Amino acid sequence: MMLMRREQPVPAELAIPDSQNHYNDDIATTTFAPLDKYVAANDNHQGGRYIGLGRAAPAQPERYGDFMQTYVGKKFWPMDPRVEDVDIRDIAHSLAMQCRYAGHCRRFYSVAEHCVIMADWLLPRYGKRVALHALLHDASEAYLVDIPRPVKPYLGGYKAAELRVMQVVHDAFGLNWIMPPEVKMADERIIADELVNLEPMEWHAKWDDPLGVPLRYYSPERAEHEFLVAFSFLSGEAA
């Protein structure tokens, strides 16, 4: 059996008005009246400057390992290098402060000078691009230091870290990742020229094909300067 509900009268305050006149005049004119012109609001600009959507910036991925402070005051993650962290001034300064052969030389002879001499020798023979590769071929040592050859094979992960840093350095300065064979050749042959700065020993005999370049024994300050001058010339960039 269906139960019938009796209609209840609607309270006056809830009744729908029969005409617009029942509405409050202010509401009728300010809320529902037509707009003269629609102007889109953009709250993301302030004084002509884009200020974003007001959301929190996305979190940057964590870097692998820890950072080191560089000469110019940057943070550099040797195990997680990035192009934006590379600075030619850091490279020039660090290499100028490091002595070749772990310091076992008669006179101070920096990694930076070694690189400059190689670049000078290669420039007239193979051009600027190869010479720039030569100038930067030890750039990873600015962040990983100059490890003596007999030690490197026993440092697990060092070669991989060295490769990553060199790839980032090459990207930073627009160079191909592949080191030109001419640079590798010069890096081997210059050892014969550098033996003049070491105490004579029997093993020197196998290095019998020198480049024929003199060592200049620059001070760290002079070596840094010469490195930056060479970089500016070879790259076309101000150092």
The helix (run of H) or strand (run of E) holding residue 172 is helix 158-172
Q: Which token pair is 148? A: 């003596």
Residue 75 phi/psi, 5-degree rounding, is: -105, 130
Distance CA 168, CA 142 (A): 13
Name residues whose C-beta falls within 8 Å of residue 176's C-beta, 6 or more positions apart in sequence.
170
Domains in the chain, start-ordered, CATH in brackets? 80-235 (1.10.3210.10)
> Comparing C-alpha atoms, which of 110, 109, 67, 105 is closest to residue 91?
110
Q: Which token pair is 179? A: 């080191």
In a 10 Å sphere around its CB, with 0-12 CB exposed, 13-18 middle and 19+ buried, how is residue 21 labelled? exposed
pLDDT attached to residue 146: 93
pLDDT attached to residue 22: 47
pLDDT attached to residue 31: 38
Q: Which residues pair with 45 in a beta bridge?
A: 50
3-state helix, strand, coil in the chain (%, to 5): 45, 5, 50
Vertex 94, ends 88 and 98: CA angle to 5°? 145
Reading the chain (239 residues) residue by residue, the pLDDT tens digits are 444 445 555 455 545 455 444 444 443 443 334 434 434 444 444 555 544 555 665 566 788 889 999 999 999 999 999 999 999 999 999 999 999 999 999 999 999 999 999 999 999 999 999 999 999 999 999 999 999 999 999 999 999 999 999 999 999 999 999 999 999 999 999 999 999 999 999 999 999 999 999 999 999 999 999 999 999 999 998 77
Q: Which token pair is 24? A: 């409050």
pLDDT attached to residue 63: 84
Question: Rg for the chain (alpha carbons), in Å?
Answer: 35
Contact (CB, 8 A) for 204 and 191: no
pLDDT attached to residue 189: 99
How many Å separate Cα 87 from the centre of its chain? 7
Q: Which token pair is 131? A: 């010479």
> Comparing C-alpha atoms, which of 187, 197, 190 is closest to residue 218?
197
- Could you tell me where the beta strands, DSSP code E, fall in the chain? 45-46, 49-50, 68-69, 75-76
pLDDT attached to residue 9: 57
